Amino acid sequence: MGSRFPHYPTRIVVVGLGRIGLPAAVNFASAGFRVSGFDVDIKKIRQLRKGHCDFHEPRLQTSLTRLQKAKRLSFSLDLEKSVRESDLATICVPTPISSGRIDLTYLLAAIDNCSKALRRGQLIVVESTVAPGICRKLVVRIERTTNLVFGRDFFFAYAPERVTPGNAIHEMKSMARIVASDDPRSLDFARRIYNRCTASVLASNFTDAELAKLAENSFRYVNIAYANELALVCEKVGADVSNVARLANSHPRVRILTAGAGVGGPCLPKDTQFLASLLKHPREHGSILWSARSVNEYMPQHIIKQAKQALKTRFKSKSTVTILGLAYKPNVDDARGSTAVEIARKLLEAGFAVKYYDPYVKVKGVGQRHTDIYSACRSADLIVIAVAHDEIVRADLERIGDAAKPGGWLFDIPRVFNESSASHAGLQYRTIGARQVKSESTEINQAPQCLRS
Ligand SMILES: NC(=O)c1ccc[n+]([C@@H]2O[C@H](COP(=O)([O-])OP(=O)(O)OC[C@H]3O[C@@H](n4cnc5c(N)ncnc54)[C@H](O)[C@@H]3O)[C@@H](O)[C@H]2O)c1
């Protein structure tokens, strides 16, 4: 009987309370489980016990307060005790990339710490993203350290998290969840848990699920690279990438994503690299994944080149550049892998005076931070809109134009404004993937050979 899993599992410990773990803990608690959250970051646990979340995620803070009050969610500094008192542990710790390979340091530490208190009949679920083969290795490691047998004494499943920060609370409930195990009883146990807190469950084995998680993020990464390359072509031939994509996307089997300054964040580039690194000799057959990486990694350089070119046409002395938005995507307070940060840093290194405004993130070494968008734009020769945070989208362009140097440039990567509104505000306008304002003769000379008469 000791090996049977509980018929009504109710107690969950969530290990790792970051951008995925904390919303997951809230989601489990909202579904009626009694949840204990654990993190190695003691300061974070102390703050959470006081009801404070250390990052911005819509609806997270209110749910946190409600669930803590209802005593459905608590925070612990004693993982072993929490594991002993739970029916299952879910692990949401980082799995970064290091020297081109998955770095398992955090995950192995979490697994080992859970294993110390693992009882018969308990389930461990890994929600962190892993590469193919890792779940099997983790199972073997647990068996070795505990002398318990997988599928008989303890259960193990993989349920990769697929939500996007900024909409995590909603997506955790509403999206289908991949739940995987190579052991049918583990799968059954895990399905019962996720059926209670997600829209639907897609059952799988370990390897297919590990690959599916990487495949979905890589698919988006490649699609963005495609949009970016299309943007470069548009610039050459004098077309507009957003109009080209709109027209092409009217085809029922086409969905081109949006071109931009490359791809940042903690997931898409990393997951694509995990997938690409599974091929030993990718260059032998020409890898889409590696090519996508070249295109996406080129985009920040392209933006910098364009920025320098714009400044050359008008300003001779040291120019001031204002960057609006530094996070890796709109409305998140996360600058991990942000291409806007890369652009700001490179412009600073190139000798420009750089200022920035971002309502969510503070970043060191990228220039002077301003907490007001208009003071950030004061006397700027070039304003680069890098991220379309709501605060930037809602900004008064006339006031930005008044603050900037007369005749200054607006380089609007996410196309928050347009050429006519910029011109009305006294700014010259540039974006990516569109015909740049140049003399007739330059345009003809720069058209591809096949198009020249
Ligand atoms: N952030 C995303 O957009 C996203 C989306 C889907 C999947 N994921 C995956 O989810 C996993 C977690 O990512 P995240 O963005 O939440 O990371 P994060 O850095 O925001 O949070 C991770 C948390 O784990 C804690 N931690 C580290 N080692 C620990 C340990 N041994 N025991 C307990 N806590 C520990 C850290 O202190 C931190 O609070 C990663 O594998 C990531 O690839 C992330």
pTM score, two decimals?
Answer: 0.93
pLDDT over 70 at 148, yes or no: yes
Identify the active-site residue in 213, 329, 355, 405: 213
pLDDT over 90 at 273, yes or no: yes
Residues 54 and 171 in one domain: yes
Tell me how far the alpha carbon of residue 156 lies from the centroid of ligand 1, in angstroms.
Answer: 19
Round the average pLDDT of the chain to a whole number and report it: 93
**Residue 27 lies inside a defined structural domain of this protein:** yes
Mean pLDDT of 198-216: 98
Q: Which of 204, 233, 258 is the last residue of a domain?
A: 204
- pLDDT recorded at residue 282: 67
- pLDDT recorded at residue 294: 96
Domain span at residue 117 reads: 11-204
Residues 310 and 417 in one domain: yes
* Distance from C-alpha of 306 to C-alpha of 311, rounded to nearest angstrom: 9
- pLDDT recorded at residue 442: 38
Per-residue pLDDT band for 280 (boundaries 50, 70, 90) equals confident
- pLDDT recorded at residue 312: 83
Tell me how far the alpha carbon of residue 100 lies from the centroid of ligand 1, in angstroms.
Answer: 19
* Count of the separate structural domains present in the chain: 2
Q: Which residues contact 306 (CB under 8 A, 6 or more apart)?
A: 411, 430, 432, 436
Instruction: Report the greatest alpha carbon distance in the chain.
Output: 84
Q: Whose CA is nearest to atom 21 of ligand 1?
A: 18
- pLDDT recorded at residue 451: 36
Q: Whose CA is nearest to atom 1 of ligand 1?
A: 19
pLDDT tens track for 410-451: 999 999 999 999 999 999 999 999 987 553 333 333 433 433
CA distances from 51 to 24, 159, 168, 376 (A): 16, 27, 19, 33
Residues 255 and 366 in one domain: yes
**Residue 245 lies inside a defined structural domain of this protein:** yes
Q: Cα angle vertex 165, ends 164, 169, to 5°?
A: 90
Residues 90 and 236 in one domain: no
pLDDT over 80 at 5, yes or no: no
Residues 139 and 232 in one domain: no
- pLDDT recorded at residue 452: 38
**Helix residue spans in 378-416 (DSSP H):** 390-393, 397-403
Report the pocket of ligand 1 as residue ranges, CB < 6 Å: 15-21, 38-41, 44, 92-95, 106, 109-110, 128-129, 161, 165, 266-267
* Distance from C-alpha of 431 to C-alpha of 189, rounded to nearest angstrom: 51
- pLDDT recorded at residue 279: 84
Per-residue pLDDT band for 316 (boundaries 50, 70, 90) equals low
**Residue 449 lies inside a defined structural domain of this protein:** no
**Residue 213 lies inside a defined structural domain of this protein:** no
pLDDT over 60 at 119, yes or no: yes
Q: Whose CA is nearest to atom 10 of ligand 1?
A: 128
Higher pLDDT: 312 or 444? It is: 312
- Whether 364 is catalytic is no
Pick from 365, 373, 233, 381: nearest CA to 309: 381
Mean pLDDT of 302-314: 88
Per-residue pLDDT band for 7 (boundaries 50, 70, 90) equals low
Residues 241 and 114 in one domain: no
pLDDT over 90 at 83, yes or no: yes
Q: Could you give the 3-state DSSP secondary structure of residue 43? A: helix
**Residue 296 lies inside a defined structural domain of this protein:** yes
Residues 180 and 238 in one domain: no
Question: Can you read off the two tokens belonging to residue 11?
Answer: 């107690």
Counting atoms of ligand 1 from 1, which one is nearest the CA of 22? 16
- Whether 213 is catalytic is yes
Tell me the residue type at 300.
P
**Residue 291 lies inside a defined structural domain of this protein:** yes
Per-residue pLDDT band for 372 (boundaries 50, 70, 90) equals very high
**Residue 64 lies inside a defined structural domain of this protein:** yes
pLDDT over 70 at 453, yes or no: no
The residues pairing with 91 across neighbouring beta strands, listed in sequence order, are: 15, 126
**Residue 435 lies inside a defined structural domain of this protein:** no
Report the CATH number that the domain containing residue 343 is assigned in CATH: 3.40.50.720
Residues 72 and 195 in one domain: yes
Residues 157 and 237 in one domain: no
Q: What percent of the chain has pLDDT over 90?
A: 89
Per-residue pLDDT band for 121 (boundaries 50, 70, 90) equals very high
Tell me how far the alpha carbon of residue 94 lies from the centroid of ligand 1, in angstroms.
Answer: 4
Residues 259 and 394 in one domain: yes
Tell me how far the alpha carbon of residue 91 lies from the centroid of ligand 1, in angstroms.
Answer: 9
Pick from 198, 197, 203, 200: nearest CA to 183: 203
Q: Which of 204, 229, 248 is the last residue of a domain?
A: 204
pLDDT over 50 at 20, yes or no: yes
Q: Whose CA is nearest to atom 15 of ligand 1?
A: 19
Residues 141 and 290 in one domain: no
pLDDT tens track for 153-193: 999 999 999 999 999 999 999 999 999 999 999 999 999 99
Residues 412 and 326 in one domain: yes
Question: Can you read off the two tokens belonging to residue 391?
Answer: 């605060």
Q: Which of 144, 176, 204 is the last residue of a domain?
A: 204
pLDDT over 50 at 1, yes or no: no
Mean pLDDT of 226-254: 98
